[in-house]
Copies of this chain bind each other. A is one copy, B any other.
């Protein structure tokens, strides 16, 4: 039996814990056993209650914000719920009761006009604003600088399918529409986005755009930045409708300047995005490869072919061993022992899926793959959003656990994987905490692929500092290898320094020029993306 992604509910995540609070994950006995092998046998300290600082906005400013028509709250619970995101450091700070960078108010506009009015108010009064949507950032994207009062501009009331062009297969969605809600609205007309990041339950259309989200079907439907054909951007200089045509030779593609801009250039209020008919057929398979080298060579061959699957994912030996492709059964054995599990999926109409399935199956067999049938594929599909749910119980159990990701060209993949693994295990090993580092490839291109790492070690007394060492080592290894600091988690504040080094002075000059021109008073997410 297969479940439809479109039946997944919209979830308001609990502050400080990932995902649907009604559907937490428990650690299996075999995972607990694995933790013991890493020396993890002491549960984390109980969380400390959050201490929310007083708002720095005076009554006059709060009145001006309320005069825009948007709802304004300085309530502790509202501010705590927009405090940071879901990186492990974010969660550790929550557990430590640290709410020192809570926004000074939460402002909830219900229309694009109210967004513009709030922005104008902030611009005129020097109040910083940080757009909030899914709230699922793992790179500090909700932590602007604190030199001035900051509001959290909660866009989750800007929801809905504003237009659907069935001929062109384009949906216009309000930026705050959560992905499951977008799929529900589109399914009423027979369409879907097919965009499934692991944050699917909470993430929004606007958030996916400004952070360049990549979903699990990226080889089939493209990254979110590939799917966007237009955006509405509210800036202190006015409103821009960006994107006139699918593609154009009319100058630079300025959609690609807003995609990935993380709220630093303006607030995206609506997104025009490519959709496709709800597939009549969905087939997901498991394949076994003897090792990561053979599996990644097969991934590359498929990525460079003209006929592609809809989903393609490869776990390395360590991730395959822990069965992370099937989080509900993590740590339990399934399939051949050793080697690497690949997931291959097809979605479309029957003739299309038959055509691609036949071609891809023949190629994978030629490339040394052993078919495992539909069961591992369907297990992966059922658990596709569950991976991050493992983190909180692991942290509870006294583990330090975090993920990081990067992207490079194919010729650099093996070196990058080795270098990042060595950097992280080295940095944690030096602190006396040997680590397990697992890796998967879940996004491929003709010229390269992403690498996604999951790290588990015993948590020390100061796990924030402990992880800080590992993350710095990983960042340095990624830069030294010439890879990009992030494939789909974005820059936020956590990756900012490495990002600026990656792009260099000329490109920083260009970005700063755009920032200064569109946001002359520097109120838009200050410190995010650019210092």
Question: Interface residues, chain A, CB within 8 Å of chain B?
Answer: 165, 167-170, 211-214, 220, 223, 225, 229, 233, 235, 237-242, 244-262, 265, 274, 276, 300, 304-308, 310, 348, 351-352, 355-356, 358-359, 362, 407-412, 443, 445-449, 482-491, 495, 499, 502-507, 509-514, 516-518, 529
Contacts and interface: CB of A to CB of B under 8 A. Distances in A.
A355 B359 contact: yes
Given A257-B510, A356-B307, A491 B274 contact: no
A238 B168 contact: no
A506 B239 contact: yes
A529 B251 CA distance: 7
A371 to B, nearest CB: 18
30 contacts: A165-B409, A167-B411, A169-B410, A170-B409, A211-B249, A214-B249, A229-B447, A237-B506, A238-B505, A244-B482, A244-B483, A245-B408, A245-B448, A245-B487, A246-B446, A248-B407, A248-B487, A251-B262, A251-B491, A251-B499, A253-B256, A253-B257, A254-B503, A256-B257, A265-B510, A305-B348, A306-B310, A510-B517, A512-B517, A513-B518
A254 B507 contact: yes
Contacts of A506: 233, 235, 237-240, 518
A249 B518 contact: no
Given A214-B249, A256-B253, A276-B304, A411 B168 contact: yes
A489 B355 CA distance: 36
A407 to B, nearest CB: 4
Closest 5 CB pairs of A and B: A513-B517, A256-B256, A240-B506, A246-B445, A212-B249
**This chain: how many copies in the complex?**
2
Given A237-B505, A254-B510, A305-B352, 17 more contacts: A168-B412, A229-B409, A240-B504, A241-B504, A245-B487, A246-B409, A246-B447, A248-B407, A250-B491, A251-B260, A251-B262, A256-B257, A257-B510, A306-B310, A351-B359, A510-B517, A513-B513
B245 A252 contact: no
B510 A447 contact: no
Contact of A485 (B250, B262, B306): B250
A300 B410 CA distance: 33
A333 to B, nearest CB: 34
A211 B505 CA distance: 25
Nearest to A490: B249
Contact of A274 (B169, B308, B447): B447
Contacts of A445: 246-247
B351 A362 contact: yes
Contacts of A507: 240, 242, 254
A214 B252 CA distance: 15
A496 B229 CA distance: 22
A237 B504 CA distance: 11
A301 B412 CA distance: 38
Contacts of A482: 244
Contacts of A249: 211-214, 260, 486-491
A93 B167 CA distance: 43
Given A359-B351, A505-B237, A253 B260 contact: yes
A502 B487 CA distance: 32
A495 B259 contact: no
A251 to B, nearest CB: 5
A486 B260 contact: no
Contact of A356 (B165, B250, B306, B407): B306
Contacts of A300: 167
Contacts of A244: 408, 482-484, 502-503
Contact of A212 (B246, B248, B359): B248
Contacts of A260: 249-253
Contacts of A259: 252-253
Contacts of A245: 407-409, 448, 483-484, 487
Count chain B CB atoms within 10 A of each CB in A260, A505, A510 and give the residue with the most: A510
A509 B238 CA distance: 11
Contact of A237 (B238, B240, B358, B509): B509
